Amino acid sequence: MANHKSAEKRDRQAKMRRLRNRMNKSAMKTAVRQVEEAIAAGSEEQAKAALQAAIPVIYKTSTKGSIHKKNASRKVSRLTKRVNKMQPLA
């Protein structure tokens, strides 16, 4: 328990940041899960649409500071690679 006024404020700020980070990460995980479900279902069009919806959510999460910028880039890269691998070779 905080004993000083400044420590109480820091505790309040930490709680709000923790909730905000949890909200952002949860939205990102949901978007990623939708892409993975479309890949598992084998629906190429649905996977592409889900990926296009997930990319801004992932980058927004990194912009807000909930995850690192390179972590976001890695997630987008790996998802994109998996969606592209679904396409039949021309």
pLDDT tens digits, one per residue of 49-74: 999 999 999 999 999 999 999 999 99
- Mean pLDDT across the stretch 32-45? 95
Q: Which tokens in the block code for residue 17?
A: 């940041």
In angstroms, what is the C-alpha Rg of the chain? 18
Domains and CATH numbers, the chain: 5-86 (1.20.58.110)
Query: Mean pLDDT in the chain?
Result: 94
Q: What is the pLDDT of residue 87?
A: 73
Read off the pTM.
Answer: 0.87
Does residue 24 carry a pLDDT above 90? Answer: yes
Q: Which tokens in the block code for residue 36?
A: 């993975």
- Read off the pLDDT band of 89 (50, 70, 90): low
- Mean pLDDT across the stretch 32-36? 97
